[in-house]
Chains A and B, each alone.
Chain A
Amino acid sequence: MTLRRSSWALGLVSFVGLLAIWQAAVSAGLIGAYYVSSPIAVGEAFVAMLREGTIQRHFTASAISFLIAFAIATSAGVALGMAAGMFRTVERTLDPFVWFLYSTPAIALYPLFVAWLGFGRPTSVATAVMFALTPIYANTLTGVKNVSPQLMRMAHSFGARPMDLFVRIALPASVPLIVGGMQLGVGRALAGVLVAELFGANAGLGFSIAYNAQYMRTTKMMVFILLVIVCGLVLTRAMAAVSAMSDRWRT
Protein backbone atom coordinates (compact mmCIF):
# COMPACT_ATOMS: atom_id res chain seq x y z
CA MET A 1 0.00 0.00 0.00
CA THR A 2 1.40 3.39 -0.90
CA LEU A 3 1.72 5.55 2.12
CA ARG A 4 4.98 7.11 1.05
CA ARG A 5 3.49 10.14 -0.62
CA SER A 6 1.52 11.30 2.39
CA SER A 7 4.22 13.08 4.31
CA TRP A 8 4.79 12.85 8.02
CA ALA A 9 3.68 16.44 8.37
CA LEU A 10 0.22 15.83 6.93
CA GLY A 11 -0.18 12.73 9.06
CA LEU A 12 0.70 14.71 12.16
CA VAL A 13 -1.73 17.47 11.21
CA SER A 14 -4.59 15.03 10.86
CA PHE A 15 -3.67 13.25 14.09
CA VAL A 16 -3.54 16.43 16.17
CA GLY A 17 -6.64 17.74 14.39
CA LEU A 18 -8.65 14.65 15.24
CA LEU A 19 -7.65 14.82 18.91
CA ALA A 20 -8.57 18.50 19.02
CA ILE A 21 -11.97 17.94 17.41
CA TRP A 22 -12.64 15.01 19.72
CA GLN A 23 -11.74 17.00 22.85
CA ALA A 24 -13.61 20.10 21.68
CA ALA A 25 -16.77 18.15 20.88
CA VAL A 26 -16.82 16.59 24.34
CA SER A 27 -15.90 19.82 26.16
CA ALA A 28 -18.59 21.76 24.31
CA GLY A 29 -21.10 19.11 25.32
CA LEU A 30 -21.88 18.06 21.72
CA ILE A 31 -21.29 14.39 22.58
CA GLY A 32 -21.54 12.78 25.98
CA ALA A 33 -18.23 11.60 27.45
CA TYR A 34 -20.08 8.42 28.26
CA TYR A 35 -20.10 7.55 24.57
CA VAL A 36 -16.63 8.60 23.45
CA SER A 37 -14.68 9.59 26.57
CA SER A 38 -12.16 12.36 25.77
CA PRO A 39 -8.48 12.54 24.81
CA ILE A 40 -7.53 14.01 28.18
CA ALA A 41 -9.41 11.36 30.15
CA VAL A 42 -7.95 8.64 27.95
CA GLY A 43 -4.46 10.02 28.46
CA GLU A 44 -4.91 10.08 32.23
CA ALA A 45 -6.34 6.57 32.33
CA PHE A 46 -3.47 5.35 30.18
CA VAL A 47 -0.88 6.77 32.58
CA ALA A 48 -2.74 5.41 35.60
CA MET A 49 -3.00 1.90 34.13
CA LEU A 50 0.64 2.08 33.11
CA ARG A 51 1.56 2.79 36.76
CA GLU A 52 -0.55 -0.11 37.97
CA GLY A 53 1.03 -2.38 35.36
CA THR A 54 -2.37 -3.22 33.86
CA ILE A 55 -1.36 -2.12 30.38
CA GLN A 56 1.89 -4.08 30.49
CA ARG A 57 0.13 -7.24 31.66
CA HIS A 58 -2.51 -7.24 28.93
CA PHE A 59 -0.11 -6.08 26.27
CA THR A 60 2.28 -8.90 27.13
CA ALA A 61 -0.52 -11.46 27.11
CA SER A 62 -1.61 -10.44 23.61
CA ALA A 63 1.94 -10.07 22.37
CA ILE A 64 2.85 -13.60 23.42
CA SER A 65 -0.23 -15.08 21.73
CA PHE A 66 0.50 -13.01 18.64
CA LEU A 67 4.14 -14.04 18.45
CA ILE A 68 3.37 -17.73 18.89
CA ALA A 69 0.63 -17.60 16.27
CA PHE A 70 2.68 -15.60 13.82
CA ALA A 71 5.64 -17.94 14.22
CA ILE A 72 3.46 -21.01 13.65
CA ALA A 73 1.64 -19.47 10.69
CA THR A 74 4.89 -18.34 9.10
CA SER A 75 6.77 -21.61 9.51
CA ALA A 76 3.80 -23.72 8.44
CA GLY A 77 2.92 -21.39 5.56
CA VAL A 78 6.48 -21.25 4.27
CA ALA A 79 7.10 -24.99 4.67
CA LEU A 80 3.85 -25.96 2.92
CA GLY A 81 4.30 -23.28 0.27
CA MET A 82 7.84 -24.45 -0.50
CA ALA A 83 6.77 -28.09 -0.67
CA ALA A 84 3.84 -27.22 -2.94
CA GLY A 85 6.07 -25.06 -5.11
CA MET A 86 8.64 -27.79 -5.59
CA PHE A 87 6.25 -30.71 -6.04
CA ARG A 88 3.08 -30.31 -8.01
CA THR A 89 1.51 -33.34 -6.32
CA VAL A 90 1.79 -31.58 -2.97
CA GLU A 91 0.22 -28.45 -4.44
CA ARG A 92 -2.70 -30.43 -5.83
CA THR A 93 -3.14 -32.33 -2.59
CA LEU A 94 -3.30 -29.14 -0.57
CA ASP A 95 -5.43 -27.24 -3.08
CA PRO A 96 -8.92 -28.15 -1.81
CA PHE A 97 -7.97 -27.48 1.82
CA VAL A 98 -6.39 -24.16 0.94
CA TRP A 99 -9.47 -23.20 -1.03
CA PHE A 100 -11.62 -24.07 1.93
CA LEU A 101 -9.51 -21.98 4.29
CA TYR A 102 -9.38 -19.16 1.81
CA SER A 103 -13.15 -18.91 1.40
CA THR A 104 -14.07 -19.54 5.02
CA PRO A 105 -13.97 -16.52 7.27
CA ALA A 106 -11.83 -18.26 9.87
CA ILE A 107 -13.98 -16.87 12.64
CA ALA A 108 -16.66 -19.43 11.79
CA LEU A 109 -14.29 -22.06 13.17
CA TYR A 110 -13.74 -20.19 16.42
CA PRO A 111 -16.52 -21.99 18.35
CA LEU A 112 -14.99 -25.26 17.21
CA PHE A 113 -11.63 -24.24 18.69
CA VAL A 114 -13.36 -23.29 21.91
CA ALA A 115 -14.98 -26.71 22.02
CA TRP A 116 -11.59 -28.34 21.51
CA LEU A 117 -9.25 -26.05 23.40
CA GLY A 118 -11.40 -24.12 25.85
CA PHE A 119 -11.11 -20.37 26.43
CA GLY A 120 -7.62 -18.95 26.64
CA ARG A 121 -4.36 -18.76 24.79
CA PRO A 122 -4.54 -22.00 22.76
CA THR A 123 -7.79 -20.86 21.19
CA SER A 124 -6.48 -17.36 20.49
CA VAL A 125 -3.38 -18.82 18.89
CA ALA A 126 -5.34 -21.35 16.81
CA THR A 127 -7.72 -18.65 15.56
CA ALA A 128 -4.85 -16.34 14.66
CA VAL A 129 -3.00 -19.12 12.82
CA MET A 130 -6.13 -19.79 10.74
CA PHE A 131 -6.36 -16.09 9.95
CA ALA A 132 -2.74 -15.69 8.89
CA LEU A 133 -1.86 -18.98 7.24
CA THR A 134 -3.32 -18.61 3.74
CA PRO A 135 -1.62 -15.42 2.54
CA ILE A 136 1.77 -16.69 3.73
CA TYR A 137 1.23 -20.03 2.04
CA ALA A 138 -0.06 -18.47 -1.19
CA ASN A 139 2.78 -15.97 -1.44
CA THR A 140 5.45 -18.58 -0.75
CA LEU A 141 3.94 -20.83 -3.41
CA THR A 142 3.93 -18.01 -5.96
CA GLY A 143 7.51 -17.17 -5.04
CA VAL A 144 8.80 -20.70 -5.53
CA LYS A 145 6.90 -21.20 -8.77
CA ASN A 146 8.39 -18.03 -10.18
CA VAL A 147 12.00 -18.78 -9.29
CA SER A 148 14.00 -18.02 -12.41
CA PRO A 149 14.48 -21.25 -14.38
CA GLN A 150 17.89 -19.87 -15.36
CA LEU A 151 19.00 -20.00 -11.72
CA MET A 152 17.67 -23.54 -11.31
CA ARG A 153 19.46 -24.59 -14.48
CA MET A 154 22.68 -22.96 -13.33
CA ALA A 155 22.54 -24.72 -9.96
CA HIS A 156 21.72 -28.01 -11.65
CA SER A 157 24.73 -27.64 -13.96
CA PHE A 158 27.01 -27.29 -10.94
CA GLY A 159 25.68 -30.56 -9.59
CA ALA A 160 23.15 -29.19 -7.07
CA ARG A 161 21.10 -31.89 -5.33
CA PRO A 162 17.35 -31.43 -4.71
CA MET A 163 18.06 -30.21 -1.18
CA ASP A 164 20.54 -27.62 -2.53
CA LEU A 165 18.00 -26.38 -5.05
CA PHE A 166 15.54 -25.97 -2.21
CA VAL A 167 17.74 -24.34 0.42
CA ARG A 168 20.16 -22.36 -1.72
CA ILE A 169 17.99 -21.30 -4.65
CA ALA A 170 14.23 -21.59 -4.15
CA LEU A 171 14.14 -20.37 -0.56
CA PRO A 172 16.33 -17.27 -0.90
CA ALA A 173 14.81 -16.41 -4.28
CA SER A 174 11.34 -16.42 -2.72
CA VAL A 175 12.23 -14.24 0.24
CA PRO A 176 10.67 -11.02 -1.10
CA LEU A 177 7.35 -12.76 -1.74
CA ILE A 178 7.46 -14.62 1.56
CA VAL A 179 7.97 -11.31 3.32
CA GLY A 180 5.04 -9.93 1.33
CA GLY A 181 2.90 -12.79 2.62
CA MET A 182 4.09 -12.12 6.14
CA GLN A 183 3.13 -8.49 5.66
CA LEU A 184 -0.43 -9.59 4.91
CA GLY A 185 -0.28 -12.16 7.68
CA VAL A 186 0.74 -9.70 10.40
CA GLY A 187 -2.55 -7.81 10.29
CA ARG A 188 -4.56 -11.00 10.09
CA ALA A 189 -2.75 -12.67 12.98
CA LEU A 190 -3.32 -9.57 15.07
CA ALA A 191 -7.01 -9.61 14.17
CA GLY A 192 -7.25 -13.31 15.02
CA VAL A 193 -5.71 -12.88 18.47
CA LEU A 194 -7.82 -9.86 19.32
CA VAL A 195 -11.12 -11.28 18.12
CA ALA A 196 -10.53 -14.48 20.06
CA GLU A 197 -9.64 -12.47 23.16
CA LEU A 198 -12.70 -10.34 22.67
CA PHE A 199 -14.94 -13.40 22.82
CA GLY A 200 -13.44 -15.21 25.72
CA ALA A 201 -10.12 -14.98 27.50
CA ASN A 202 -8.88 -13.76 30.84
CA ALA A 203 -6.15 -11.42 29.69
CA GLY A 204 -5.04 -9.49 26.65
CA LEU A 205 -5.92 -6.28 24.82
CA GLY A 206 -9.01 -7.78 23.18
CA PHE A 207 -10.17 -9.13 26.52
CA SER A 208 -9.66 -5.71 28.13
CA ILE A 209 -11.80 -4.01 25.49
CA ALA A 210 -14.68 -6.46 26.02
CA TYR A 211 -14.26 -6.49 29.81
CA ASN A 212 -14.34 -2.71 30.21
CA ALA A 213 -17.23 -2.50 27.76
CA GLN A 214 -19.22 -4.83 29.98
CA TYR A 215 -18.86 -2.37 32.86
CA MET A 216 -19.46 0.65 30.61
CA ARG A 217 -15.95 1.99 31.30
CA THR A 218 -15.70 3.89 28.06
CA THR A 219 -12.43 5.61 28.92
CA LYS A 220 -10.54 2.42 29.68
CA MET A 221 -12.08 0.75 26.66
CA MET A 222 -10.83 3.65 24.52
CA VAL A 223 -7.34 3.29 25.95
CA PHE A 224 -7.16 -0.31 24.77
CA ILE A 225 -8.81 0.38 21.40
CA LEU A 226 -6.27 3.11 20.68
CA LEU A 227 -3.48 0.85 21.87
CA VAL A 228 -4.56 -1.83 19.41
CA ILE A 229 -4.69 0.72 16.58
CA VAL A 230 -1.18 1.89 17.42
CA CYS A 231 0.09 -1.71 17.62
CA GLY A 232 -1.38 -2.36 14.18
CA LEU A 233 0.34 0.68 12.71
CA VAL A 234 3.69 -0.15 14.32
CA LEU A 235 3.57 -3.79 13.21
CA THR A 236 2.67 -2.83 9.65
CA ARG A 237 5.41 -0.23 9.49
CA ALA A 238 7.93 -2.71 10.87
CA MET A 239 6.97 -5.33 8.27
CA ALA A 240 7.15 -2.69 5.53
CA ALA A 241 10.71 -1.91 6.62
CA VAL A 242 11.62 -5.60 6.53
CA SER A 243 10.03 -5.85 3.11
CA ALA A 244 11.99 -2.88 1.81
CA MET A 245 15.16 -4.58 2.98
CA SER A 246 14.31 -7.86 1.28
CA ASP A 247 13.32 -6.03 -1.91
CA ARG A 248 16.93 -5.05 -2.42
CA TRP A 249 17.52 -8.64 -3.43
CA ARG A 250 15.37 -8.30 -6.46
CA THR A 251 17.45 -5.67 -8.17
Chain B
Amino acid sequence: MPQIQIEDVSISYGSPDAKTTFKAVVGANLAIEPGEFVTIVGPSGCGKSTLLSAIAGLVPYDGRLTINGAAVTGPGPDRAIVFQDASLLPWRTVHGNVRFGLEMQRKPRKFIRERAEHFIEMVGLNAFARYYPGQLSGGMRQRVNIARALAADPQVLLMDEPFGALDAQTREIMGGELLRIWEAERKTAIFVTHDIEEAIFLADRVVVMGRNPGRIKDVIRIDLPRRRTVEMQEEPAFLDLKRRLRAYLAEDLA
Protein backbone atom coordinates (compact mmCIF):
# COMPACT_ATOMS: atom_id res chain seq x y z
CA MET B 1 0.00 0.00 0.00
CA PRO B 2 1.35 3.48 -0.84
CA GLN B 3 2.45 5.51 2.15
CA ILE B 4 1.23 8.83 0.81
CA GLN B 5 -1.88 9.03 -1.29
CA ILE B 6 -2.93 12.18 -3.07
CA GLU B 7 -6.29 11.90 -4.82
CA ASP B 8 -7.85 14.76 -6.71
CA VAL B 9 -6.27 17.34 -4.41
CA SER B 10 -6.84 21.03 -5.12
CA ILE B 11 -5.44 23.88 -3.08
CA SER B 12 -6.64 27.49 -3.10
CA TYR B 13 -5.42 30.64 -1.43
CA GLY B 14 -7.88 33.23 -0.23
CA SER B 15 -7.11 36.89 -0.69
CA PRO B 16 -6.78 38.92 2.52
CA ASP B 17 -10.38 40.15 2.26
CA ALA B 18 -11.43 36.49 1.92
CA LYS B 19 -13.68 37.35 -1.04
CA THR B 20 -11.79 35.81 -3.91
CA THR B 21 -9.77 32.62 -4.02
CA PHE B 22 -6.87 31.67 -6.22
CA LYS B 23 -6.43 28.04 -7.30
CA ALA B 24 -2.74 27.25 -6.89
CA VAL B 25 -3.04 23.49 -7.52
CA VAL B 26 -5.90 21.62 -9.22
CA GLY B 27 -6.72 17.92 -9.37
CA ALA B 28 -3.40 16.45 -8.26
CA ASN B 29 -3.07 12.64 -8.12
CA LEU B 30 0.00 10.85 -6.84
CA ALA B 31 0.86 7.77 -4.78
CA ILE B 32 4.21 7.43 -3.05
CA GLU B 33 5.61 4.16 -1.71
CA PRO B 34 7.45 3.85 1.61
CA GLY B 35 11.17 4.56 1.24
CA GLU B 36 10.76 6.16 -2.17
CA PHE B 37 12.64 9.28 -3.21
CA VAL B 38 10.37 11.55 -5.26
CA THR B 39 11.41 14.88 -6.69
CA ILE B 40 9.04 17.57 -7.93
CA VAL B 41 10.13 19.91 -10.72
CA GLY B 42 8.31 22.67 -12.53
CA PRO B 43 8.55 26.33 -13.42
CA SER B 44 8.29 28.81 -10.58
CA GLY B 45 4.75 29.52 -9.43
CA CYS B 46 3.37 26.14 -10.56
CA GLY B 47 2.46 25.14 -7.01
CA LYS B 48 5.37 22.94 -5.94
CA SER B 49 5.72 24.55 -2.54
CA THR B 50 1.97 24.64 -2.16
CA LEU B 51 1.61 20.92 -2.76
CA LEU B 52 4.44 20.19 -0.34
CA SER B 53 2.86 22.44 2.30
CA ALA B 54 -0.40 20.56 1.96
CA ILE B 55 1.39 17.26 2.57
CA ALA B 56 3.10 18.90 5.56
CA GLY B 57 -0.32 19.88 6.90
CA LEU B 58 0.40 23.60 6.74
CA VAL B 59 -2.29 24.63 4.26
CA PRO B 60 -5.87 23.42 3.83
CA TYR B 61 -6.82 21.46 0.71
CA ASP B 62 -9.80 19.93 -1.06
CA GLY B 63 -9.74 16.24 -2.01
CA ARG B 64 -8.15 13.25 -0.33
CA LEU B 65 -4.66 13.33 1.10
CA THR B 66 -3.64 10.47 3.38
CA ILE B 67 -0.48 9.28 5.06
CA ASN B 68 -0.49 5.63 6.10
CA GLY B 69 -4.21 5.71 5.42
CA ALA B 70 -4.98 8.64 7.76
CA ALA B 71 -6.17 11.98 6.40
CA VAL B 72 -3.76 14.88 6.83
CA THR B 73 -5.31 17.45 9.18
CA GLY B 74 -2.18 19.30 10.32
CA PRO B 75 1.51 18.85 11.00
CA GLY B 76 2.50 15.59 12.67
CA PRO B 77 5.55 13.75 13.94
CA ASP B 78 5.33 11.38 10.95
CA ARG B 79 6.61 14.20 8.71
CA ALA B 80 9.44 16.72 9.00
CA ILE B 81 10.45 19.55 6.71
CA VAL B 82 13.91 20.59 5.63
CA PHE B 83 13.52 24.33 5.15
CA GLN B 84 15.80 26.89 3.57
CA ASP B 85 18.39 28.27 5.93
CA ALA B 86 16.37 31.29 7.08
CA SER B 87 14.38 28.91 9.25
CA LEU B 88 17.22 28.09 11.65
CA LEU B 89 16.87 29.78 15.04
CA PRO B 90 19.69 32.33 15.06
CA TRP B 91 19.89 32.37 18.87
CA ARG B 92 20.47 28.63 19.17
CA THR B 93 23.64 26.71 18.44
CA VAL B 94 23.76 23.92 15.89
CA HIS B 95 23.05 21.49 18.70
CA GLY B 96 20.17 23.65 19.98
CA ASN B 97 18.62 23.81 16.51
CA VAL B 98 18.85 20.08 15.92
CA ARG B 99 17.13 19.47 19.27
CA PHE B 100 14.15 21.61 18.37
CA GLY B 101 11.84 19.00 16.84
CA LEU B 102 12.51 16.55 19.67
CA GLU B 103 11.75 19.21 22.26
CA MET B 104 8.41 19.82 20.59
CA GLN B 105 7.75 16.09 20.90
CA ARG B 106 8.46 16.31 24.66
CA LYS B 107 11.12 13.58 24.53
CA PRO B 108 13.34 12.94 27.59
CA ARG B 109 16.39 15.18 27.90
CA LYS B 110 19.02 12.46 27.63
CA PHE B 111 17.33 10.97 24.59
CA ILE B 112 17.21 14.39 22.92
CA ARG B 113 20.88 15.07 23.54
CA GLU B 114 22.08 11.71 22.26
CA ARG B 115 19.89 11.81 19.20
CA ALA B 116 20.93 15.35 18.35
CA GLU B 117 24.59 14.40 18.68
CA HIS B 118 24.05 11.35 16.49
CA PHE B 119 22.57 13.35 13.63
CA ILE B 120 25.05 16.20 13.94
CA GLU B 121 27.71 13.56 13.44
CA MET B 122 25.84 12.05 10.52
CA VAL B 123 25.83 15.38 8.66
CA GLY B 124 29.50 15.89 9.56
CA LEU B 125 29.17 18.90 11.83
CA ASN B 126 30.70 17.43 14.99
CA ALA B 127 33.27 20.18 15.26
CA PHE B 128 30.62 22.86 14.88
CA ALA B 129 27.99 21.70 17.38
CA ARG B 130 28.53 24.81 19.54
CA TYR B 131 28.48 27.28 16.63
CA TYR B 132 25.59 29.61 15.85
CA PRO B 133 23.96 29.58 12.41
CA GLY B 134 25.41 33.03 11.71
CA GLN B 135 28.90 31.54 11.98
CA LEU B 136 28.29 28.80 9.40
CA SER B 137 28.41 28.66 5.61
CA GLY B 138 25.23 28.15 3.60
CA GLY B 139 26.06 24.49 2.97
CA MET B 140 26.67 23.86 6.67
CA ARG B 141 23.39 25.53 7.57
CA GLN B 142 21.57 23.16 5.24
CA ARG B 143 23.25 20.23 6.94
CA VAL B 144 21.85 21.54 10.21
CA ASN B 145 18.42 21.74 8.61
CA ILE B 146 18.66 18.15 7.43
CA ALA B 147 19.89 16.97 10.83
CA ARG B 148 17.03 18.79 12.57
CA ALA B 149 14.44 17.14 10.36
CA LEU B 150 16.00 13.65 10.67
CA ALA B 151 16.40 13.92 14.45
CA ALA B 152 12.64 14.31 14.77
CA ASP B 153 12.48 10.77 13.38
CA PRO B 154 9.81 11.28 10.72
CA GLN B 155 8.68 8.61 8.26
CA VAL B 156 8.53 11.21 5.52
CA LEU B 157 11.11 13.86 4.81
CA LEU B 158 9.79 16.94 2.98
CA MET B 159 12.27 19.28 1.31
CA ASP B 160 11.45 22.54 -0.46
CA GLU B 161 14.43 23.60 -2.58
CA PRO B 162 16.75 23.00 0.37
CA PHE B 163 19.83 23.69 -1.76
CA GLY B 164 18.31 26.53 -3.76
CA ALA B 165 20.50 29.17 -2.16
CA LEU B 166 23.78 27.27 -2.57
CA ASP B 167 26.38 27.60 -5.29
CA ALA B 168 26.51 24.87 -7.95
CA GLN B 169 29.46 23.02 -6.48
CA THR B 170 28.19 22.93 -2.90
CA ARG B 171 24.84 21.90 -4.27
CA GLU B 172 26.31 18.87 -5.97
CA ILE B 173 28.16 17.83 -2.82
CA MET B 174 25.05 18.28 -0.71
CA GLY B 175 23.03 16.17 -3.15
CA GLY B 176 25.50 13.31 -2.76
CA GLU B 177 25.46 13.69 1.02
CA LEU B 178 21.69 13.67 1.08
CA LEU B 179 21.58 10.42 -0.87
CA ARG B 180 24.13 8.83 1.46
CA ILE B 181 22.03 9.78 4.49
CA TRP B 182 18.80 8.72 2.81
CA GLU B 183 20.25 5.33 1.93
CA ALA B 184 21.28 4.89 5.57
CA GLU B 185 17.92 6.02 7.00
CA ARG B 186 15.52 4.83 4.29
CA LYS B 187 12.94 7.53 4.86
CA THR B 188 10.39 8.42 2.26
CA ALA B 189 11.61 11.64 0.68
CA ILE B 190 9.83 14.33 -1.30
CA PHE B 191 12.17 16.93 -2.72
CA VAL B 192 11.12 20.09 -4.55
CA THR B 193 13.58 21.67 -6.95
CA HIS B 194 13.64 23.68 -10.14
CA ASP B 195 16.94 22.14 -11.17
CA ILE B 196 16.41 19.31 -13.66
CA GLU B 197 19.74 17.59 -13.09
CA GLU B 198 19.22 17.61 -9.34
CA ALA B 199 15.74 16.20 -9.82
CA ILE B 200 16.98 13.28 -11.91
CA PHE B 201 20.11 12.63 -9.87
CA LEU B 202 18.22 12.20 -6.59
CA ALA B 203 14.97 10.58 -7.64
CA ASP B 204 13.31 7.23 -8.04
CA ARG B 205 10.54 9.20 -9.76
CA VAL B 206 10.34 12.79 -10.98
CA VAL B 207 6.98 14.54 -10.74
CA VAL B 208 6.65 17.19 -13.43
CA MET B 209 4.31 20.06 -12.66
CA GLY B 210 2.96 22.75 -14.97
CA ARG B 211 1.26 26.03 -14.39
CA ASN B 212 -1.89 27.92 -15.38
CA PRO B 213 -3.37 26.11 -13.66
CA GLY B 214 -0.84 24.49 -11.30
CA ARG B 215 -1.09 20.75 -11.85
CA ILE B 216 0.84 17.48 -12.15
CA LYS B 217 1.63 16.90 -15.81
CA ASP B 218 3.50 13.64 -15.64
CA VAL B 219 5.49 11.31 -13.43
CA ILE B 220 8.73 9.91 -14.85
CA ARG B 221 10.47 6.84 -13.45
CA ILE B 222 14.25 7.13 -13.17
CA ASP B 223 15.71 3.70 -13.74
CA LEU B 224 19.31 4.61 -13.10
CA PRO B 225 20.99 2.25 -10.64
CA ARG B 226 21.17 3.33 -7.00
CA ARG B 227 24.48 4.38 -5.55
CA ARG B 228 24.30 7.32 -7.90
CA THR B 229 27.59 8.94 -8.76
CA VAL B 230 28.49 12.30 -10.21
CA GLU B 231 29.92 10.54 -13.29
CA MET B 232 26.50 9.14 -14.07
CA GLN B 233 25.42 12.60 -15.08
CA GLU B 234 27.54 12.24 -18.26
CA GLU B 235 25.95 8.92 -19.31
CA PRO B 236 23.53 8.74 -22.26
CA ALA B 237 20.65 7.50 -20.10
CA PHE B 238 20.94 10.53 -17.81
CA LEU B 239 21.30 12.96 -20.69
CA ASP B 240 18.29 11.40 -22.35
CA LEU B 241 16.14 11.96 -19.28
CA LYS B 242 17.42 15.50 -19.03
CA ARG B 243 16.40 16.24 -22.61
CA ARG B 244 12.93 14.79 -22.06
CA LEU B 245 12.34 16.82 -18.93
CA ARG B 246 13.64 20.00 -20.45
CA ALA B 247 11.24 19.62 -23.35
CA TYR B 248 8.41 19.19 -20.90
CA LEU B 249 9.28 22.32 -18.99
CA ALA B 250 9.83 24.31 -22.17
CA GLU B 251 6.20 23.63 -23.15
CA ASP B 252 5.16 25.66 -20.18
CA LEU B 253 7.33 28.61 -20.94
CA ALA B 254 6.14 28.92 -24.54
Contacts and interface: CB of A to CB of B under 8 A. Distances in A.
Contacts of B76: 159
A224 B44 CA distance: 68
A153 B58 contact: yes
A248 B90 CA distance: 9
A153 B75 CA distance: 10
Contacts of A172: 89, 91
Interface centre among A154, A155, A160, A161 (most CB of B within 10 A): A154
Contacts of B81: 154, 157
Contact of A250 (B83, B90, B101): B90
A219 B84 CA distance: 64
A158 B86 CA distance: 16
A251 interface: yes
A175 interface: yes
Contacts of B90: 249-251
A73 to B, nearest CB: 24
A6 interface: no
A20 to B, nearest CB: 47
B104 A158 contact: yes
Given A158-B80, A159-B75, A251 B87 contact: no
Interface string A227-251: 0000000000000000000001111
Given A159-B105, A164-B104, A251-B134, A151 B89 contact: yes
Contact of A249 (B57, B79, B91, B104): B91
Contact of A153 (B87, B89, B91, B101): B87
Contacts of A150: 83-84, 86-87
B100 interface: yes
Interface residues of A, number: 22
A56 interface: no
Contact of B104 (A151, A160, A250): A160
A156 B91 contact: no
A148 interface: yes
Contacts of A155: 100, 104
A159 B87 contact: no
A151 B79 CA distance: 17
B86 A159 contact: no
B63 interface: no
Nearest to A249: B91
Contacts of A158: 75, 80, 100-101, 104-105, 152
Nearest to B154: A158
Contacts of B75: 156-159
Interface centre among A159, A164, A172, A175 (most CB of B within 10 A): A159
Nearest to B149: A158
A155 to B, nearest CB: 7
B77 interface: yes
B56 interface: yes
Contacts of B86: 148, 150
Contacts of B83: 150, 154
A124 to B, nearest CB: 36
Nearest to A154: B87
A179 to B, nearest CB: 13
A153 B100 CA distance: 13
B145 to A, nearest CB: 9
A148 B79 CA distance: 22
Given A151-B89, A250-B90, A156 B58 contact: yes
Interface string B47-83: 0000000001110000000000000000111011101
Contacts of A248: 134
B91 A157 contact: no
Interface in B89-139: 89-91, 100-101, 103-105, 134
A243 to B, nearest CB: 15
Interface string A161-177: 10010001100110100
A153 B152 CA distance: 16
Contacts of A151: 87, 89
Contacts of B104: 155, 158-161, 164
10 contacts: A154-B83, A155-B100, A157-B57, A157-B58, A157-B79, A158-B100, A158-B105, A159-B104, A168-B103, A249-B90
Given A157-B81, A158-B104, 15 more contacts: A150-B83, A150-B84, A150-B86, A154-B81, A156-B58, A157-B56, A159-B76, A159-B101, A164-B104, A168-B100, A172-B89, A172-B91, A173-B91, A250-B90, A251-B134
The 8 A-B residue pairs whose C-beta atoms are closest, nearest first, are A154-B87, A158-B101, A158-B104, A249-B91, A251-B134, A159-B104, A157-B75, A172-B91
